[in-house]
């Protein structure tokens, strides 16, 4: 699902824009190229190896014809379809990754100004510390963890949430004694109105089985490395140490894992269906956050319909 009306959502990473061989044989451009006379310019692309071909799975070079340069082709060339990334994931993270396709790139900008909350599940392991706070980094320290209990962990989480709640109110630039503040609080729309440090709006323990634990973190303006550092700091507060074993984004605004497209679904029809299914969801999200007086919000319906058809 790179996410939205004129957007789509994937599960961890971006789809490739080049044609690929299917499991049943050559791709359509390759089939068309066989019937053309000499003169077309081939292009080398690295495509996934066909199943059952033997050897380890990977990419193999293949000739793909550039049909636009064939002398018998008339008319304007196809233009590239722009695909932009929303809130990014680093190489060690996974989960919901929103992409804007075509006119959906404009909506990515609108979503950026909404300062939407993202939700992560973060795994941790007590007893060791590394240079980059991940379980694959260089080991720098080991410590005991038998004294840690779930109650102690949850007390630390409560302190973290309380501290970040104060930061959230400070960066929201809202007078807490006004009717506006009350209405925003009721609708859950209190959030930073501009740039701010990473802020955790909610954090809780999902699983606890020493030495492993799992947290659910709601946050804005975060990076995945910041979440790993939080796990490290939790270990220090509990008079031990800890590393992060997993960072998985399970929600980005209104988009969840249920909306995401797996790598096997990165094809035209699946992406068109995802865009169509998410139109109302995205429109409601932006109207709720940006307000009905924003002209860009009023134009969204037409833009989404145009993006779905393009």
For 211-256, how does the pLDDT look when each residue is reduced to its tens digit (9 = 90+)? 999 999 999 999 999 999 999 999 999 999 999 999 999 999 889 9
pLDDT beyond 90 at 157? yes
Residue 286 belongs to a domain? yes
Cα(69)–Cα(285) distance, rounded to whole angstroms?
43
Judge if 121 and 247 occupy the same domain: yes
- Residue 72: partners with Cβ closer than 8 Å, 6 or more residues away: 36
Taking every pair of Cα atoms in the chain, the longest distance, rounded to a whole number of angstroms, is 77
Judge if 202 and 302 occupy the same domain: no
Helix (H), strand (E), coil (C) string for the chain: CCCECCEEEEECCCCCCCCCCECCECCHHHHHHHCCCECECEEEEEEECCCCCCCCCCEEEEEEECHHHCCCCCCCCCCCCCEEECCCCCCCCEEEEEEEECCHHHHHHHHHHHCCCEEEEEEEEECEEECCCECCCCEEEECCCCCCCHHHHHHHHHHHHHHHHHHHHHHCCCCCCCHHHHHHHHCCCCCCCCCCCCEEEEEEEEEEECCEEEEEEEEECCCHHHHHHHHHHHHHHCCCCEEEEEEEEEEECCEEHHHCECHHHCCHHHHHHHHHHHHHHHHHHHHHHHCCCCHHHHCHHHHHHHHHHC
Residue 18 belongs to a domain? no
Token couple for 306: 């145009």
The residue among 294 and 53 whose pLDDT is bigger is 53
pLDDT beyond 70 at 205? yes
Judge if 163 and 225 occupy the same domain: yes
Judge if 153 and 220 occupy the same domain: yes
CATH code of the domain covering residue 208:
3.30.2350.10
Judge if 223 and 148 occupy the same domain: yes
* pLDDT mean over 181-195: 73
Judge if 52 and 140 occupy the same domain: no
- The pLDDT score that the predictor gives to residue 130 is 97
Residue 48 belongs to a domain? yes
Highest mean pLDDT (candidates 8-22, 68-82, 217-231): 217-231
- CA proximity to 98, closest of 303, 304, 282: 282
* pLDDT mean over 45-54: 72
Judge if 141 and 217 occupy the same domain: yes
Is the dihedral angle over the CA atoms 69, 70, 76, 81 positive or is it negative? negative
* pLDDT mean over 183-209: 84
Q: Report the chain's mean pLDDT, rounded to a whole number.
A: 79
The residue among 236 and 10 whose pLDDT is bigger is 236
Q: What is the pTM of this model?
A: 0.70
Residue 47 neighbours by CB distance under 10 Å:
18
- The pLDDT score that the predictor gives to residue 22 is 36
* pLDDT mean over 19-27: 40
Residue 146 a catalytic site member: no
- The pLDDT score that the predictor gives to residue 104 is 83
Residue 1 belongs to a domain? no
Cα(301)–Cα(299) distance, rounded to whole angstroms?
6
Residue 181 belongs to a domain? yes
pLDDT beyond 80 at 41? no
Confidence band of 103 (pLDDT split at 50, 70, 90): confident
Distances in whole angstroms, Cα of residue 51 to Cα of each of 18, 25, 44, 60, 266: 19, 10, 20, 12, 18
Residue 150 belongs to a domain? yes
- The pLDDT score that the predictor gives to residue 295 is 44
Out of 88-102, 135-149, 154-168, 295-309, pick the least confident: 295-309
- The pLDDT score that the predictor gives to residue 156 is 97
- CA proximity to 83, closest of 163, 183, 3: 3
- The pLDDT score that the predictor gives to residue 174 is 74
Judge if 105 and 180 occupy the same domain: no
- The pLDDT score that the predictor gives to residue 67 is 74
Judge if 170 and 296 occupy the same domain: no
- CA proximity to 156, closest of 119, 200, 120, 121: 200
* pLDDT mean over 29-57: 60
Judge if 132 and 189 occupy the same domain: yes
Judge if 199 and 97 occupy the same domain: no
Percent of the chain scoring above 70 in pLDDT = 74
Highest mean pLDDT (candidates 35-49, 124-138, 296-310): 124-138
Residue 74 belongs to a domain? no
- The pLDDT score that the predictor gives to residue 249 is 97
The residue among 285 and 93 whose pLDDT is bigger is 93
Judge if 123 and 247 occupy the same domain: yes
- How many domains does one find in the chain? 3
Residue 230 belongs to a domain? yes
Give the range of the structural domain holding residue 136, as residue numbers without chain letter: 117-252
- The pLDDT score that the predictor gives to residue 126 is 98
Q: Which residue out of 90, 146, 277, 309 is catalytically annotated?
A: 90
């Amino acid at each position: 699902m790179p996410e939205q009306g004129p957007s789509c959502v994937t599960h961890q990473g971006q789809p490739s824009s080049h044609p690929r061989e299917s499991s049943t044989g050559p791709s359509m451009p390759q089939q068309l190229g066989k019937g053309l006379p000499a003169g077309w310019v081939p292009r080398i692309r690295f495509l996934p190896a066909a199943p059952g071909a033997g050897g380890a799975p990977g990419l193999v070079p293949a000739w793909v014809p550039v049909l636009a340069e064939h002398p018998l082709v008339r008319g304007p060339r196809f233009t590239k379809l722009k695909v932009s990334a929303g809130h990014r994931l680093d190489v060690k993270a996974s989960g919901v990754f929103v992409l804007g396709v075509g006119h959906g790139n404009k909506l990515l900008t609108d979503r950026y100004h909404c300062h939407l909350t993202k939700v992560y599940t973060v795994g941790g392991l007590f007893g060791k510390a590394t240079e980059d706070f991940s379980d694959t980094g260089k080991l720098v320290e080991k410590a005991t963890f038998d004294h840690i209990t779930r109650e102690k962990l949850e007390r630390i989480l409560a302190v973290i949430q309380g501290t970040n709640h104060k930061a959230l109110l400070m960066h929201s630039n809202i007078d807490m004694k006004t009717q506006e503040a009350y209405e925003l609080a009721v609708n859950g729309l209190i959030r930073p109105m501009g740039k701010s440090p990473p802020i955790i709006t909610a954090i809780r323990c999902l699983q606890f089985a020493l030495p492993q634990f799992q947290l659910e973190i709601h946050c804005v303006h975060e990076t995945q490395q910041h979440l790993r550092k939080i796990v490290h700091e939790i270990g220090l507060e509990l008079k031990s140490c800890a590393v992060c074993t997993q960072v998985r984004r399970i929600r980005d605004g209104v988009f969840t894992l249920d909306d995401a497209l797996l790598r096997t679904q990165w094809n035209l029809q699946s992406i068109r269906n995802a865009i169509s299914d998410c139109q109302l969801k995205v429109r409601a999200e932006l109207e709720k956050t940006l307000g009905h007086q924003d002209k860009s919000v009023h134009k969204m319906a037409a833009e989404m319909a145009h993006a779905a058809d393009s």
